[in-house]
Amino acid sequence: MRLHPAEHPRLYAAARATVHAVNTPIAKRRMGKAADAAARPIKLEIGGLSDRAGWLVVNVNARTRNYLDATEPWPFEDGALDVVYADNMIEHVPLEAGRRMFAEAFRCLRPGGVIRLVTPDLGKHVELYLAGSRSVEDEVGTFYRSLGLTVEHPTDLVRVPIASFGHHTGYLYDVASLCAELTKAGFSDAQEWSLSDSRHEALRGLDKRTGEGGAQMAIEAVR
């Protein structure tokens, strides 16, 4: 029997916890071996859900192949990485934990290496709220409704990114705040890029959620 989270929430949660407990120590050992064996400089994806050719993809979920808690020290020497990419991951992490992640990324990236973070843009959601009722029917509201979420009033366009998807346990940014945090960590030239576009060839065309009418932002900075 395949459990569906909505139909069997308690059973699903129990099964997921069991899988997580069994898989995590195995995935941690596998991660250590993968980190040692990977050709330098490494392209690292944090929070990825599937293998990507030429990349080391890590996560902390129950079924990940390579377990890495990116808010703790990374198993790489200084300058081992070429790029760091995280798509819809950083908003699940509290601010101080995010700062530890940025510090590790700065340490492990080679000079000239790039970090790219794709995450909901809280500033854009506030703009939509201030635009009033017409914004409820735009691309962002339509997308959220397609996920089964309630979007009936402008306030929902601020409520959803904060209260849904588990983001309430993490930290949401706008362009200015995320650029400021990356600069504080030592990075330079922190700025917003169009989704799927990048200064680094390896980072082009990776972003998944490109049809949300500007609800997502992509921020890059250079080591």
> What would the pLDDT profile of 31-55 be if each residue is shown by its tens digit?
999 999 999 999 999 999 999 999 9
Low-confidence ranges of the chain (pLDDT < 70): 1-9, 11-20
Q: What is the structure's pLDDT at 23?
A: 81
Please name the residue ranges forming H helices in the chain.
9-37, 95-108, 122-131, 139-146, 156-163, 175-184
Q: Tell me, what's the pLDDT at 12? A: 45
Q: Where in the chain is the domain with CATH 3.40.50.150?
A: 9-120+173-222
Give the three-state DSSP class for 117: strand
Residue 153 CB neighbours (<10 A): 14
Cis omega (within 30 of 0) for bond into 41: yes
**Contact between 84 and 76 (Cβ < 8 Å):** no
Other Cβ atoms less than 10 A from the Cβ of 149: the count is 15
pLDDT in tens, 66-103: 999 999 999 999 999 999 999 999 999 999 999 999 99
Select 9-120+173-222's CATH number: 3.40.50.920, 1.20.140.10, 3.40.50.150, 3.30.420.40: 3.40.50.150
pTM here? 0.91
User: What was the pLDDT predicted at 63?
Assistant: 87
